[in-house]
Amino acid sequence: MKKIAFIGAGSFGFTRALVRDILSFPALADSTIALMDIDPERLAYIKNAVEKIIAAGNYPAKVLATTDRVEALRDADGVVCTILAGRVNVWRHDIEIPKKYGVDINVGDTRGPAGIFRALRTIPVMLDICRDIEQYCPEAIFLNYTNPMAMLCRAMQGQTPLRVTGLCHSVQGTAAMLAKWIGAPMEEITYLCAGINHQAWYLSYRWNGQDAYPLIRAAVQKPEIYNEEMVRNEMFLHLDYYVTESSGHNSEYNAWFRKRPDLIEQYCTHSTGWNPGVYAYILNEYLKRETTWKSEIDEWFQQPIDLQRGKEYAAYIFNATLGDGTPFEFNGNVRNFGLIDNLPEGCCVEVPVLASKRGLDPLHVGPLPEQLAILNNISARCEELAVAGAIEGDPRKIFHAVCYDPLTSAVLSLAEIQRMVTEMFEANREWLPQFKHFA
């Protein structure tokens, strides 16, 4: 019997889906699912949901629900993390303060000024979780879903010997989207994808072994497909390779789409995909859910349980490493030690990783095309500087990391960036005790 701990289990939709997937593997069907959250109300809801899944599948699994992280982690074989350090009323400062200075942010959970300050609040918590794992379940496979993915994984992998990687659904999600656009069954698609989180590239994309990029290029000429992902389609048409994650997200990670109101109107307002790119999109969605989450969960409880396995990586990884041992290749976030030749040594990259009974083995990719490496390098080096500043409590490094963020530097002067960063530090003062001064 395996024990799998969920830290931040109150992330209801995510935890529910991952538990469903994990228990669908026969070798993991008798697992103990340890649910931990600091919010007792959310914890009670997810405990009831997991019990309903177990009953519907007639699984021999057990549930443990606790607000005590040590109790959840003790003797765990696998750990999943989906925490949010600070509620929405804290996160909103990351979005709203830059907007005062002219930096228009769509999501703000990955990189740039908003992603960096989210990392500053979250890195100490993640390292505390790592210390507990080192003490209570040092051999566990630790899978992180919390953003900002690259900075958190870089901090953890640099400060702990744990077997930890970060997972994002954008790789398989985008691959499926491209397959749909060209009319290909997903089971006939193979690809090689590598880069950094939310900005990895399909270096090859094949349908039954044949290069499918000509088909993708033809597809994006159709207005209905071009309009679905305006930013990403523009990037593809000019950079020659398709990028992971939504147009809204990617509009923040470069200097091309959000630096002027006319560009925001043209590229970031009218896309028909799930995240068109409008200002504070995800923040506003979270604010809505602050008052609707209970009703949404109550509605779920009224529906029949769908036990069909989904496409998230975590369950397949646990089955490969802890279950029946079926090897599974996925894209994970790991440090760049000889994996991508023209990205910084030791930075966090997103590359193919093989999960097996041996553990997690990242695969060598080689160099990225130079036009892709330039863009990835800028963000990766900003993230390296931000992580160092977070661990050392050095606000100057944080300022310099924000200085070179592509969107911020396209909009603001150095003096304006300094004022913005100082204001963001002040708004986060109680969350950043590692910083003794903000000058």
Conformation bin of residue 87: beta by default, left when phi > 0, alpha when psi is -120 to 50: beta
> Reduced to 3 states, what is the DSSP secondary structure of residue 121?
helix
Q: What are phi and psi of 33, to 5 degrees?
A: -100, 110
Strands (E), 8-82: 32-36, 62-66, 78-81
Distance CA 414, CA 124 (A): 28
168 annotated to a ligand binding site: yes
Catalytic: 238? no
Half-sphere exposure (CA, 13 Å, Cβ side) for 108? 29
Strands (E), 90-215: 141-144, 163-166, 189-196, 199-207, 210-211
147 annotated to a ligand binding site: yes
Write out the H or E segment, with its range, that includes residue 353.
strand 348-356
Distance CA 248, CA 122 (A): 23
Classify each residue of 181-200 as buried b or exposed e, where b means 16 or more C-beta atoms within 10 Å of its C-beta: bbebeeeebebbbbbbbbbb
Beta-strand relationship, 348-356 and 328-335: antiparallel
CA nearest neighbour of 385 among 155, 147, 196, 75: 155
Classify each residue of 7-23 as buried b or exposed e, where b means 16 or more C-beta atoms within 10 Å of its C-beta: bbbbbbebbbbbbbbbb
On whether the CB atoms of residues 9 and 36 are closer than 8 A, the answer is: yes
* Dihedral angle sign, alpha carbons of residues 418, 420, 423, 425: negative
**Of residues 93, 169, 270, 437, which has the active-site annotation?**
169
Distance CA 103, CA 99 (A): 5
Residue linked to tokens 């390292």: 127
Distance CA 227, CA 233 (A): 8
On whether the CB atoms of residues 172 and 311 are closer than 8 A, the answer is: yes
Please, which contacts does 357-361 make with residues 24 or more away whose CB atoms are closer than 8 Å? 357/320, 357/321, 357/325, 359/141, 359/163, 359/321, 360/141, 360/163, 360/165, 360/317, 360/321, 360/332, 360/334
Residues making up the annotated binding site are: 147, 168, 198
Residues making up the annotated binding site for Mn(2+) are: 168, 198
**Active-site annotation, residues:** 169
Residues making up the annotated binding site for substrate are: 147
